[in-house]
């Protein structure tokens, strides 16, 4: 856990000089390239997609403002993930009444491993796209519906006129199958 | 080692609840607790979050389309791996925003600081707006929805009724408070999986049904049932390690009564050939064909042969090997560990785990397993069970196993030079490390504990693979959470049944060979071409997978094929023949490689002397002599050679091809030599049959 003082935003504004003309194209490219990874990293610590999106936006604001602090050649993700972690904790304080949020112990134990695991997330995504291709068309369609923005299991069940329990079961089965497929696929990819 | 399955089941349910935002406060706390507590739970959690998050992110980015690797869907896009999620246009858009910002900033240089800050905020916000716009502009259009069949239940029985879930996945009890429109949904009773105590009354029918279900789900129809000749050759090679003789084939073909396949299975299971074959297979597994440290390989083989003959329970056999004491003369089972106790019992640990538990632990000697959560610590904890054991020479100079009364931990070094201690522990069960405790006895006891221990799963998987050509898990000795089985319910139920039967090996073999899958032909039909474990696909068992013969099977089959009177091969001669092909490697597993890839020409070329000459020499008592001497024309002779070697009749075009060649040779020869040339021509035909790829294949 890094000291929170490092991210005191007051200090930040004072250090800003007119010579900083905004981030260059390399920065922008790194920034956009790391968005997905950052989103997943944040999601791992808060569990809820809506929270993760909010926190990602907050993080982006800070990262963009502090673009001058980034040293080219160092790990962009390492830097932005520290910002994100701070935002996760700030966000948590704001939502003090919400019972369904992860404790600081949880965040701490997950954050470090998520950082390490995130190195392989791109490989996992490749494996996932292969595995999505292996799904039966009906299963792929169900996933498409479920993950369409604004949808969830209940809305999909309503759209299709199926009992909610059946839809939850199917989704669970498919997600489990995808996970197992991804792990197999990664083993296969690694042994090549 | 691995987290227990119940915890994993619970964790999977909780993760599902998290994804669908259905967790109660208690469930949420439970999820937290599990994840904080265990590394493997954290890994599972992260993998699940990655899956869920990636699907969400991709859907948001690309108009509701999930990235797939196939080109089926017209909406699928191909992307390079490193490309950012944002498409090229929007990246250009952002860059133009940035350059506008840059341009503006330079104009404003020298002005008040607050202007610059406001500007960069504007730049930042517009970038975010671009991103957010990308996110929100992706609700599926009506056109997209219309493409989807409105009633998937019409198309697919899967959606009709909640399927009986797999034993290790229980569906969620429904939580009324989350009903979308505020009305209370009628509670649905969660489907409980079958009690793990009850076993199906008819194991074979259970397996058949399970496989049939998987074929239905995969949309394949099984291949046709193998015809008699195909099947008989297979079952003989699988159960007694050699092809049927010509007369055995004829007898089977002539038998028109029902249940003849079952009778053959019974007959083979109670024959000496079964004991010999399984003893051969397991001797090779335990000590290889060429281990230089082996004391007396033959006595080990005889021990196994007796064990299979008496149908000794498998757990007793394994215990005998693991906890063997004494000299190899007094206790032939001691030969196993004698062969592997070099190098601090590292090979003993690795081979015990691989052969009896089908788990690959050898790389964990030095580091954690790359694909699952087993650790270096786990390896050395298993190794410490062997630390009391020493090999000495007794008064006659024979290798002898003794267990010394020593206790305490095993020390090992991690990759960064840290010394750590490992105590004898298997799957969270630690035994006391006092010197008075006999660790190997305890280990043998621990691995056989429970209704469905890995010992049983491993043996079932291996035996299934031995007979069907592929295991539920492949490679067959690499089971674990990183390598899930193709049909977990079948594997587990067969294993539980195996344990409940008292680890009855013949009962298991009988179940497996009586299944519908074992009757099928290896011929592919239009639907099951994808069922091909050789390409890395998970097997469906909708057809037979042909297997190459092992070296010993080739030798024994050559003897059967070439002698018209049934004689079993002499084991000493066989071992000598086999040893030509084997080379030993000095690895941590006492590896060896075998140069025989089922190629008879190579085999016959390397076999100098007796067997070759004998097989082609039409002496009385040989197949060739019998074929030549019997009355009848070309076709009769050829068919009898074929039955003896390929165990089937030749097809018309095959007969025609052979006859053409034989006739050519005969007519080219001068009249006085024709008889001799004819005999040689048949010799050539026989040679061709023995040399064929078909001869060395288990159909």
Please judge whether A143 and B116 are an interchain contact, meaning their C-beta atoms are less than 8 angstroms apart: no
Please judge whether B19 and A179 are an interchain contact, meaning their C-beta atoms are less than 8 angstroms apart: no
User: Starting from the edge strand earliest in sequence, which strands make up the sheet with B326-327, in order?
Assistant: B326-327, B399-403, B389-393
pLDDT of residue B612: 54
Please judge whether B25 and A188 are an interchain contact, meaning their C-beta atoms are less than 8 angstroms apart: no
Separation between Cα atoms, residue B438 and residue A42, nearest integer Å: 51
Please judge whether A179 and B171 are an interchain contact, meaning their C-beta atoms are less than 8 angstroms apart: no
From chain A, the residues in CB contact with B28 under 8 A are: 99-100
DSSP 8-state code for residue A96:
T
Please judge whether A109 and B51 are an interchain contact, meaning their C-beta atoms are less than 8 angstroms apart: no
Plot region of B141 (φ>0 → left; ψ -120 to 50 → alpha; else → beta)? beta
Please judge whether B174 and A183 are an interchain contact, meaning their C-beta atoms are less than 8 angstroms apart: no
Chain B interface disruption, residue of A39, A76, A176, A191, most B CBs within 10 A: A176
Q: Predicted confidence band at B150 (pLDDT cuts at 50, 70, 90)?
A: very low
The 3-class secondary structure across B311-324, one letter per residue, is CCCHHHHHHHHHCC
Chain B interface disruption, residue of A144, A159, A187, A188, most B CBs within 10 A: A144
pLDDT of residue B587: 52
Most confident option among A13-17, B86-90, B178-182, B347-351: B347-351
* pLDDT tens figures, B224-272: 999 999 999 999 999 999 999 999 999 999 998 888 999 999 999 999 9
Among B91, B113, B155, the residue with its CB nearest the CB of A138 is B155
Q: Predicted confidence band at B592 (pLDDT cuts at 50, 70, 90)?
A: low
Q: Predicted confidence band at B111 (pLDDT cuts at 50, 70, 90)?
A: very low
* Phi, psi for B240 (deg, rounded to 5): -125, 5
pLDDT greater than 90 at residue B398 = no
Average predicted confidence (pLDDT) for chain A: 83
- Report, as an integer, the average pLDDT of A11-30: 61
Separation between Cα atoms, residue B87 and residue B134, nearest integer Å: 10
Burial B512-524 (b: 16+ CB within 10 A, else e): bbbbbbbbbbbee
Query: Is the Cβ–Cβ distance between B408 and B433 less than 8 Å?
Result: yes
Separation between Cα atoms, residue B647 and residue B540, nearest integer Å: 27
Burial B628-650 (b: 16+ CB within 10 A, else e): beeeeebeebbbbbbbbbbbbbb
- Report, as an integer, the average pLDDT of A85-92: 88
* Nearest residue on chain A to B530, alpha-carbon basis: A134
Among A57, A149, A180, the residue with its CB nearest the CB of B60 is A149
pLDDT greater than 60 at residue B603 = no
Among A113, A147, A149, the residue with its CB nearest the CB of B66 is A147
Q: Nearest to residue A41, comparing CAs of A106, A139, A117, A155?
A: A117
Least confident of A174-188, B53-67, B506-520: B53-67
pLDDT greater than 50 at residue A140 = yes
Query: Is the Cβ–Cβ distance between B658 and B638 less than 8 Å?
Result: yes
Please judge whether A138 and B152 are an interchain contact, meaning their C-beta atoms are less than 8 angstroms apart: yes
Please judge whether B66 and A100 are an interchain contact, meaning their C-beta atoms are less than 8 angstroms apart: no
CA distance to partner chain B, nearest, from residue A86 (Å): 19
Query: What's this model's pTM, rounded to 2 decimal places?
Result: 0.58
Separation between Cα atoms, residue B564 and residue B574, nearest integer Å: 19
Most confident option among A91-105, B385-399, B571-585: B385-399
Q: What percent of chain A has pLDDT over 70?
A: 86
pLDDT greater than 50 at residue A128 = yes
From chain B, the residues in CB contact with A105 under 8 A are: 32, 36
Instruction: Report A:7-46 residues touching B (Cβ under 8 A).
Output: 13, 16, 18, 20-25, 28-29, 32-33, 35-36, 39-40, 43-44
CA distance to partner chain A, nearest, from residue B166 (Å): 9
Please judge whether A60 and B128 are an interchain contact, meaning their C-beta atoms are less than 8 angstroms apart: yes
- Of the two residues A164 and A7, the one the predictor is more confident about is A164
Query: Is the Cβ–Cβ distance between B228 and B252 less than 8 Å?
Result: yes
User: How many interchain CB pairs under 8 A, A with B?
Assistant: 256
Is the Cα dihedral B437, B443, B445, B449 positive or negative?
positive
Burial class (CB in 10 A: 0-12, 13-18, 19+), A10: exposed
Instruction: Report A:74-133 residues touching B (Cβ under 8 A).
Output: 99-100, 102-103, 105-106, 109-110, 113-114, 117, 121-122, 124-126, 128-130, 132-133
CA distance to partner chain B, nearest, from residue A60 (Å): 8
pLDDT of residue A97: 64
pLDDT of residue B153: 36
pLDDT of residue B362: 78
From chain A, the residues in CB contact with B151 under 8 A are: 160-161
- Of the two residues B157 and B295, the one the predictor is more confident about is B295
- Of the two residues B649 and B341, the one the predictor is more confident about is B649
From chain A, the residues in CB contact with B536 under 8 A are: 188
Q: Predicted confidence band at A96 (pLDDT cuts at 50, 70, 90)?
A: low
Structure ipTM over 0.90, yes or no: no
- Report, as an integer, the average pLDDT of B429-447: 86
- Report, as an integer, the average pLDDT of A125-151: 89
From chain A, the residues in CB contact with B179 under 8 A are: 154
* Nearest residue on chain A to B61, alpha-carbon basis: A149
pLDDT greater than 70 at residue A40 = yes
pLDDT of residue B602: 54
Q: What percent of chain B has pLDDT over 70?
A: 73
pLDDT of residue B589: 54
Chain B interface disruption, residue of A56, A172, A190, most B CBs within 10 A: A172
Q: Predicted confidence band at B316 (pLDDT cuts at 50, 70, 90)?
A: very high
């Amino acid at each position: 856990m890094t000291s929170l003082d490092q991210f005191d935003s007051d200090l930040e504004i004072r250090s800003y000089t007119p010579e900083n003309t905004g981030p260059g194209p390399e920065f922008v490219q790194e920034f956009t390239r790391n968005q997905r990874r950052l989103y997943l990293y944040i999601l791992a610590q808060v569990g809820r997609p809506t929270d993760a999106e909010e926190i990602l936006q907050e993080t982006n604001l800070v990262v963009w403002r502090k673009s001058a602090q980034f040293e080219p050649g160092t790990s962009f993700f390492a830097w932005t993930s520290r910002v994100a972690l701070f935002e996760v904790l700030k966000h948590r304080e704001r939502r003090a009444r919400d019972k369904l949020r992860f404790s600081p112990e949880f965040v701490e134990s997950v954050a470090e491993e998520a950082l390490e695991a995130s190195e392989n997330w791109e490989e996992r995504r490749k494996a996932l796209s292969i595995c999505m291709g292996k799904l039966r068309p009906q299963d792929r369609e169900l996933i498409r519906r479920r993950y369409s923005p604004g949808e969830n299991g209940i809305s999909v069940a309503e759209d299709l006129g199926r009992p909610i329990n059946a839809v939850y079961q199917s989704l669970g089965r498919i997600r489990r199958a995808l996970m197992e497929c991804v792990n197999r696929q990664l083993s296969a990819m690694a042994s090549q | 080692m691995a987290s227990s399955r119940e915890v994993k089941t619970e964790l999977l349910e909780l993760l599902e609840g998290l994804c669908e935002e259905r967790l109660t406060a208690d469930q949420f706390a439970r999820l937290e607790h599990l994840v904080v507590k265990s590394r493997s739970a954290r890994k599972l959690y992260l993998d699940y979050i990655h899956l869920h998050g990636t699907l969400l992110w991709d859907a948001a980015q690309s108009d509701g389309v999930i990235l797939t690797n196939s080109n089926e869907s017209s909406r699928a896009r191909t992307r390079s791996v490193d490309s950012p999620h944002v498409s090229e246009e929007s990246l250009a858009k952002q860059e133009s925003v940035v350059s506008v910002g840059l341009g503006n900033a330079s104009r404003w240089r020298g002005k008040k600081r607050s202007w610059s800050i406001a500007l960069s905020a504007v730049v930042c916000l517009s970038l975010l707006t671009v991103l957010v716009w990308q996110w929100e502009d992706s609700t599926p259009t009506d056109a997209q929805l219309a493409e989807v069949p409105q009633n998937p239940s019409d198309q697919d029985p899967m959606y009709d009724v909640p399927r009986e879930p797999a034993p290790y996945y229980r569906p969620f009890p429904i939580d009324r408070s989350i009903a979308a429109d505020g009305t209370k949904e009628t509670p649905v009773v969660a489907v409980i999986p079958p009690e793990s105590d009850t076993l199906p009354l008819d194991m074979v029918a259970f397996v058949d049904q399970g496989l049939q279900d998987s074929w239905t789900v995969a949309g394949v129809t099984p291949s046709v049932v193998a015809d008699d000749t195909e099947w008989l050759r297979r079952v003989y090679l699988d159960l007694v390690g050699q092809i049927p003789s010509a007369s055995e084939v004829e007898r089977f073909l002539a038998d028109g009564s029902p249940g003849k396949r079952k009778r053959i299975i019974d007959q083979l299971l109670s024959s000496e050939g079964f004991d010999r074959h399984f003893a051969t297979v397991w001797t090779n597994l335990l000590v290889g064909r060429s281990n230089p440290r082996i004391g007396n390989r033959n006595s080990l083989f005889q021990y196994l042969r007796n064990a299979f003959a008496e149908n000794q329970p498998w757990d007793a056999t394994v215990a005998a090997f693991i906890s063997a004491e004494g000299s190899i003369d007094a206790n032939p089972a001691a030969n196993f560990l004698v062969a592997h106790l070099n190098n601090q019992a590292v090979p003993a640990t690795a081979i015990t785990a691989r052969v009896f538990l089908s788990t690959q632990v050898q790389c964990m000697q030095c580091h954690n397993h790359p694909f699952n959560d087993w650790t270096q610590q786990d390896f050395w904890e298993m190794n410490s069970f062997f630390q009391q054991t020493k090999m000495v020479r007794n008064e006659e100079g024979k290798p002898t196993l003794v267990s010394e009364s020593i206790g305490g931990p095993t020390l090992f070094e991690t990759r960064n030079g840290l010394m750590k201690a490992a105590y004898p522990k298997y799957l969270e069960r630690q035994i006391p490390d006092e010197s008075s405790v006999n660790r190997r006895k305890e280990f043998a006891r621990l691995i056989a504990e429970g209704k469905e221990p890995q010992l049983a799963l491993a043996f079932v998987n291996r035996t299934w693979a031995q007979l069907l050509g592929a295991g539920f898990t492949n490679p067959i000795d690499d089971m674990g959470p990183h390598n899930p089985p193709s049909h977990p319910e079948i594997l587990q139920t067969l294993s539980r049944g195996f344990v409940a039967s008292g680890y009855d090996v013949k009962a298991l073999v009988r179940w497996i060979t009586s299944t519908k899958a074992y009757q099928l032909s290896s011929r592919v039909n239009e639907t099951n071409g994808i069922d091909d474990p050789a390409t890395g696909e998970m097997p469906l068992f909708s057809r037979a997978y042909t297997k190459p013969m092992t070296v010993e099977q080739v030798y024994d089959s050559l003897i059967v094929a070439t002698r018209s009177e049934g004689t079993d091969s002499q084991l000493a001669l066989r071992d000598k023949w086999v040893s030509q092909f084997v080379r030993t490697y000095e690895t941590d597993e006492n590896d060896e490689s075998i140069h025989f890839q089922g190629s008879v020409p190579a085999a016959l070329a390397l076999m100098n002397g007796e067997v070759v000459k004998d097989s082609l020499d039409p002496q009385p008592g040989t197949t060739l002599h019998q074929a030549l001497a019997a009355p009848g024309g070309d076709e009769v002779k050829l068919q009898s050679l074929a039955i003896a070697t390929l165990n089937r009749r030749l097809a018309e075009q095959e007969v025609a091809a052979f006859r053409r060649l034989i006739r050519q040779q005969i007519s080219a020869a001068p009249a006085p030599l024709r008889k001799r040339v004819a005999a040689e021509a048949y010799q050539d035909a026989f040679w061709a049959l023995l040399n064929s790829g078909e001869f060395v294949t288990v159909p």
